[in-house]
Chain A
């Protein structure tokens, strides 16, 4: 056994994860030619949700914290884009918008993180919700600047290195950015930082006693989650060409937690599975049983949490594979015996 093994992502899992990512990426590259524009937009939304859900994932799986506040940073990314590429027509160049949003959201996350991460658990979750509501009210009331409840539309098409992107072009940018962020997250999850985060969740007192700056690291995790969500926000604004204060609803932030729970936070594939399960569920229910959406998603999550906790779909799949593997091995052993 070599020292690459860390309990965050065992190396054999890492290789299969990379292979699966490659396979899925290939599918995603080809898919726009096989489906209509509406489905492609849905896939695009699913892809863009993945980084935001990873933000929830990193805080849940490594620190056991519930982060309802990803909507804050998606909102920041979206509104910045709406201002710069829409209402105030400053620039629609992605190579400027993305880095700018990243910097601004990192600063905001760092500052907000001071209060939000001061205490963990219930307090962390509630302060996250509080901030989303504050942003909501600020954006809602400052009509002159933000368009209030009308929101902002008429966002120009994005440019990439001054080349104007049509819908298909935007799709590939979203795919590329998402895959890049997934790979980066895989690296982060296998870093010294993540190992120490797991230690903090493992035993707080011991972590402190070996010198781990608990609050500082919690803040960095929060900043990473926010940075990821803000990139999602930028691209979502371009995708839907519309931003409104409802992006700061705590219900929207809760969607990412729900996606993470559906997908499962015990596996690195969780956010990806969760994104697509949630988006599809939402689409299906909203189309056929629109007024039952809250009841359906509420009951689904409540049931999942009470039965499998945070294992989610990926957890169930892992358990099934293990049981199947054991059955196959037993069958193999007994057939070997009989054979001999």
Chain B
């Protein structure tokens, strides 16, 4: 397994299990992720990828198993606290604050990251630092022109990028990205992925990126996990992983 030997361990997943009745969504998975390690996660629909990510963020509670962050067990920690601890996830389906502007969406993320939840008496226009950081992040992700547009009036591609930008406001240690390019046109796909990978590298974040587009994965990923029926069946470089018989079987059989 390709690993950054010199970087310390960030996340440890130990025999994590989540069954939905008979369906083995996540079946006793163990994994170690180092700081700065970037993984792509591929697999057919229903393989358990989103469930796995949701287990990491706390949106879903496991039936069994432990998750640790920097040595500390976080299996019982609530989603909002885990976000503060550095585990942040984008959403596969659209989950943004639709009736607010792009600026306000990102600004909310910054306010939350700064812990200003109970700040009642300050006028939001006076939060210079927050407003500046918001502008900065919007510039970084090429969102400056649509700053004051309501999110519900923007296209799918924009929304994906806004989602990612908001995650960066949280200063994550590990960024979980759930299908950043789904529903997006060919040209936009590369733009989004490059932007994403660049920011991940610049900030030395660990990351798990769920992707369906295998060409993208082969081109941009250094380390890939293939998931099937709740299990990790192959881990390694894309060349290695896609040459495995069992993986090819699934790719052909279940059809991406």
Query: What is the interface of chain A, defined by CB distance below 8 A to chain B?
Result: 1-8, 11, 187-188, 190-193, 195-196, 198-199, 202-203, 205-214, 216-217, 220, 224
Contact = CB atoms under 8 A, between A and B. Distances in A.
B107 interface: yes
Given A210-B108, A211-B170, A1 B125 contact: no
18 contacts: A3-B131, A5-B101, A5-B148, A11-B125, A191-B122, A192-B124, A198-B99, A202-B96, A207-B108, A208-B59, A209-B57, A209-B88, A210-B112, A210-B166, A210-B167, A212-B117, A213-B117, A217-B118
Interface stretch (B36-44, B76-84, B204-212, B236-244): B76-84
Contact of A206 (B95, B123, B135): B95
A199, A208, A210, A213 — which one has the most chain B CB atoms within 10 A of its CB?
A210
A192 B17 CA distance: 38
Contacts of B111: 192, 195-196
A152 to B, nearest CB: 34
B109 interface: yes
Contacts of A211: 80-81, 83-84, 112-113, 170
Highest count of chain A CB atoms <10 Å: which of B80, B95, B109, B118:
B80
B100 interface: yes
Contacts of B103: 3, 5
Contacts of B134: 3
A187 B91 CA distance: 33
B118 A202 contact: no
Given A193-B117, A196-B108, A7 B100 contact: yes
A207 B112 CA distance: 9
B104 A203 contact: no
B57 to A, nearest CB: 6
A128 B101 CA distance: 33
A199 B113 contact: no
B127 interface: yes
Contacts, number: 134
B120 interface: yes
A182 to B, nearest CB: 15
Given A196-B108, A211-B113, A202 B124 contact: no
Interface residues of B, number: 47
B119 A202 contact: no
Given A1-B148, A210-B169, A212-B80, A203 B96 contact: yes
A208 B117 CA distance: 12
Interface of B: 57, 59, 78-81, 83-84, 88-89, 91, 95-101, 103-105, 107-109, 111-113, 116-125, 127, 130-131, 134-135, 148, 166-167, 169-170
Contacts of A7: 99-101, 104
Nearest to B95: A206
B116 A192 contact: yes
B115 to A, nearest CB: 8
A4 B101 contact: no
Contacts of A187: 120-121, 123
Nearest to B57: A209
A118 to B, nearest CB: 14
B99 A202 contact: yes
Given A3-B131, A211-B83, A213-B80, A206 B117 contact: no
Contacts of B81: 211, 213
A293 B155 CA distance: 50
Nearest to B98: A202
Contacts of B78: 208
A192 B122 contact: yes
Contact of B117 (A190, A196, A198): A196
Given A191-B124, A199-B97, A208 B118 contact: no
A33 to B, nearest CB: 35
A206 B112 CA distance: 12
A284 B223 CA distance: 75
